[in-house]
Amino acid sequence: MEDVYDWKGINGQIMTFKKEVGDAKKITYIGSPGVCTPFAELLAYSVRDKENHFIPLVNVDDCHKFESKYYGMVLNDEVSDPHDSDVVVLLGGLSMPKYNLGTGELNDLIKDILKDDGQIIGVCFMNMFTKVNWLDKFDFDCVIDGNLVGVVKK
């Protein structure tokens, strides 16, 4: 994969995501519970006119649909069906060593829920997917990768 264009800031990230998702109608995010969930909420907010689902790790039986409320995006209590997704989004937290997820089981899940002509989009920070060699393990249509640099002021 090669760099195609740059973006800056949180707004840049979500606008890039919205652009890359395009006309998709159903999006499923796969990520680590807790860490990835708020990032999925933020991304889902940018495409709240679409059907958005979240799968914690590879637990497809614990998939939940996002609902847009006046105070933000929330996951419904009811289990939802991620099958026939137009886009599957792999979130960077999945690649953290503590989850010990095999790329084979993730690829199997993707094959199970993604439409034949669907897209796989990676969203991560700090080159996580590059560091764990996932760019060669998944058939990403694109990876939206950002760097966080901050400062504390007193």
Q: What is the pLDDT of residues 14-47, one digit of tens each?
A: 999 999 999 999 999 999 999 999 999 999 999 9
Structural domain boundaries in the chain: 9-144
Q: Is the pLDDT of residue 48 over 90?
A: yes
Minimum mean pLDDT range among 5-9, 41-45, 138-142:
5-9
User: How much of the chain exceeds pLDDT 70, in percent?
Assistant: 100
Percent of the chain with pLDDT over 90: 97
DSSP string, the chain: --------HHHHHHHHHHHHHTT-SEEEEEE-TTTTHHHHHHHHHHTTTSEEEEEETT-GGG-EEEEEETTEEEEEEEE---TTEEEEEEEGGGGSGGG---HHHHHHHHHHHEEEEEEEEEEEETTHHHHTTGGGTS--SEEEEE--------
Indicate the CATH number for domain 9-144: 3.40.50.2300
pTM as predicted: 0.96
